[in-house]
Amino acid sequence: MDQLIKILIVEDNVIIADDMQSMLEEIGYNIVANVVDYESAIEVLENEHVDLALLDVILATEKTGIDIGKYIREKKNIPFIFVTSNSDKATVENAKSVKPNGYLVKPFEQQDLFTSIEIALSNFNEQAAASSTNDREVSGSNSILRNSIFVKKNQHYHRIPFDDIKYVKADNVYLEVHTKDKSYLVRSAMKDYIEKLPSQQFYRAHKSYIVNLDHIEAINTRDIVINGEIIPISKDFREFILANMNS
């Protein structure tokens, strides 16, 4: 299970680039590369796994961060954020033409950087999920896709049938989606994610857990067992289970 988001920094001011890398690594992100020009950025994008790119709009070369943004839009399915000290209307309009997932004006604080990245990733993943949902609705006869959810891992969206999901666990800004033998990391709020799951099959058993009712192996007054894992339960969930037990 990939724990760290992999970020590419494209910034030709070495001091600013190093500061950004230090701030990001302190938060817990993984910096794949820290480069200064278009050619180096494209090489990284082609040869490394990148989850998100931070692009300086104006580079000290002919090709700019906007050119890198165009390349990403055409060739790669990842979000990117423009980072610039130029917030004038012309620069913003030019940047908007490639539809960035965020726009951060220098100077900025660590919290500004963190917030921009989290919002960009969240919005990007939500849009991708919505697109997958729309595609499934268009091909409504395909029951395999209708009975699944898609989770992004590396460069692909992995289809997970609802029946295969054992439970979902909150972990800071992530959710861990557990099947019998695999785990996937997604970025979503619990309240938003449970809305994507069939309500007759999935229940929020605890503030940190969503469980598949079909996979409950044992229960007592404090917890349940799913796939050998002991999961705490709330009072409401305990009452719900006890009221529906056939015993």
What is the DSSP track for 143-158? HHHHTEEEEEETTEEE
> CATH homologous superfamily for 147-244?
LytTr DNA-binding domain (2.40.50.1020)
CATH architecture of 6-125: 3-Layer(aba) Sandwich (3.40)
pLDDT at 95: 82
Cβ-contact 102, 116 below 8 angstroms: yes
Low-confidence ranges of the chain (pLDDT < 50): 1-2, 136, 138-145
pLDDT at 11: 94
Cβ-contact 125, 147 below 8 angstroms: no
**Domain residue ranges in the chain:** 6-125, 147-244
pLDDT at 247: 52
pLDDT at 130: 60
Same fold, 6-125 and 147-244: no
Q: How many CB atoms lie within 10 A of CB 106?
A: 15
Q: How far is CA 157 from CA 53, 100, 129, in A?
A: 19, 21, 9
